[in-house]
Amino acid sequence: MNIGIPKEIKNNENRVAITPAGVTAFIQAGHQVFIEQGAGEGSGFTNEEYVQAGASVVSTAEDAWNQEMVMKVKEPLPEEYDYFREGLILFTYLHLAAEPELTKALMERKVIGIAYETVQLSNGSLPLLTPMSEVAGRMASQIGAQFLEKLRGGKGILLGGIPGVRRGRVTVIGGGVVGTNAAKIAMGLGADVTIVDLNARRLRELDDIFGASINTMMSNPLTIAELLEESDLVIGAVLIPGAKAPKLVTEDMVKQMKKGSVIVDVAIDQGGIFATTDRITTHDDPTYVKHDVLHYAVANMPGAVPRTSTIGLTNVTVPYALQLANKGYVQACLQNESLCKGINTLDGSVTFQAVAEAHDLPYRDVQSFLQ
């Protein structure tokens, strides 16, 4: 199969969908890789390294998009929709529940849209989301700590405090991969950390992992409102796989937060969990202030640490992409139920229920196409 790798065009998105090591794996399996020139630069991989690994470096995005399967990192932007065509296999993050226009474009052009974030193992985990959630979770606390500094617009709190001065308070809403990693770093900085989750079993696991170093609370509106009033930094880390994020924090709750507090809504890629994170920000201009609270809502946080993120991402995506290339998407998905769950659009239909519900579109079971 011919695989195309376009350069990412989202603001400050420096990741790339393949490393030279990944290219070698495809070449050894008898495939060809066409990578847009400069696509790896932001992650520290040169055109020469890709050529040495066996890839062909192509000069335009169109040449990369013109292949049978396109691997990307971020969801395509409107200027990329013109490359869509019937039968194209697109393997990337899609976040369609928060992307009505992209959903429509994939349906209209009958693209086989396979979303990294909905590939799901039988234990419910999301293997192609996990490494980026690890990155974004760790970054969320670092970023929150920075924006709490007075010069960055925050209330002037050092998260770890000092002897004789109270530590900063961090509330993490959602105790999955992002939440756990955010808590680890916040705890390491010396903050007073509370994780809120709806799943009692997950709260027990977190208690086993962190012991008395953190607090765990069951998620409900009253608890969230009480915690927010006292929090310096609040991190949004909830996910219902494939679905639009639930708005768990109301505008009134944000109004009760103290001036200069910071919100980092990592779940913004699925629409965000704060009523006040009604827009996505970029690495160039990452924050805005609403009700005197700083909001950070960047949907491609790992793009800021591209070397770590590209290697972490491709470690997990390439084995699945190889299955698609070796067997074709029909056989690969019939033989691998986890991969099958990644198919969000096929032959003009939405084949992921939560995406269909988010946009009030008809849903078709993917199996009805494959068998």
Ligand X SMILES: NC(=O)C1=CN([C@@H]2O[C@H](COP(=O)(O)OP(=O)(O)OC[C@H]3O[C@@H](n4cnc5c(N)ncnc54)[C@H](O)[C@@H]3O)[C@@H](O)[C@H]2O)C=CC1
| Binding-site residue set | 15, 74, 133, 197, 202, 219, 238-239, 266-269, 279, 298-301
| Number of chain positions touching ligand CC(=O)C(=O)O (CB under 6 A) | 8
Residue 193 contact, options ligand X, ligand CC(=O)C(=O)O, none, Cβ 5-8 Å cut-off depending on partner type:
none
**Residue 228 tokens, joined:** 């927010």
Nearest-approach distance from CB 226 to ligand X, in angstroms? 15
The residue from 39, 64, 132, 257 that contacts ligand X (CB under 6 A) is 132
| Catalytic residue list contains 360 | no
Among 302, 306, 312, 342, binds ligand CC(=O)C(=O)O (CB under 6 A): 302
Q: How far is the CB of 245 from ligand X (least distance, A)?
A: 6
**62-77: b (≥16 Cβ within 10 Å) or e:** ebbbbbbbbbbbbbbe
Residue of closest CB approach to ligand CC(=O)C(=O)O: 132
Closer by beta carbon to ligand X, 67 or else 317: 317
State the minimum distance, in angstroms, from the CB of residue 194 to ligand X: 12
Q: Quick check: 300 binds ligand CC(=O)C(=O)O (CB under 6 A)?
A: yes
Residue recorded with tokens 């709190």: 157
Partner whose binding site includes residue 174, from ligand CC(=O)C(=O)O, ligand X, none (CB under 5 to 8 Å by kind): ligand X
Interacting partner of 270 out of ligand X, ligand CC(=O)C(=O)O, none (Cβ under 5 to 8 A depending on kind) = ligand X
31 an active-site residue? no
- Residue 239 touches which of ligand CC(=O)C(=O)O, ligand X, none (Cβ within 5-8 Å per kind): ligand X
Q: Is 132 in the site for ligand CC(=O)C(=O)O (CB under 6 A)?
A: yes
Closest residue to ligand X using C-beta atoms: 176
> Which of 95, 232, 265, 295 is an active site residue?
95
Nearer to ligand CC(=O)C(=O)O, 93 or 210 (CB): 93
Give the residue with the Cβ less far from ligand CC(=O)C(=O)O, 115 or 293. Answer: 115
Q: To which residue do tokens 């697109």 refer?
A: 90
Distances (CA, A) of 271 to 88, 204, 220, 238: 27, 28, 20, 11
Restricted to residues 230-269, the positions that interact with ligand CC(=O)C(=O)O (CB under 6 A) are 269
Among 71, 119, 143, 178, binds ligand X (CB under 6 A): 178
List the x/- string, 37-76, binding to ligand CC(=O)C(=O)O by CB under 6 A: -------------------------------------x--
3-state secondary structure 299-332: CCHHHHCHHHHHHHHHHHHHHHHHHHHHHHHHHH
Distance CA 284, CA 303 (A): 12
**What residue 197 binds from ligand CC(=O)C(=O)O, ligand X, none (CB within 5 to 8 A, per partner kind)?**
ligand X
3-state secondary structure the chain: CEEEECCCCCCCCCCCCCCHHHHHHHHHCCCEEEEECCCCHHHCCCHHHHHHHCCEEECCHHHHHCCCEEECCCCCCHHHHHHCCCCCEEEECCCHHHCHHHHHHHHHCCCEEEEHHHCCCCCCCCCCCHHHHHHHHHHHHHHHHHHCCHHHCCCCCCCCCECCECCCEEEEECCCHHHHHHHHHHHHCCCEEEEEECCHHHHHHHHHHHHHHEEEEECCHHHHHHHHHHCCEEEECCCCCCCCCCCCECHHHHHCCCCCCEEEEHHHHHCCCECCCCCCECCCCCEEEECCEEEECECCHHHHCHHHHHHHHHHHHHHHHHHHHHHHHHHHHHHCHHHHCCEEEECCEECCHHHHHHHCCCECCCHHHHC
| Residue ranges that bind ligand X, judged by CB under 6 A | 117, 129, 132-133, 136, 173-179, 196-199, 202, 219, 237-240, 245-246, 248, 266-270, 298-302
| Residue ranges that bind ligand CC(=O)C(=O)O, judged by CB under 6 A | 74, 93, 117, 129, 132, 269, 300, 302
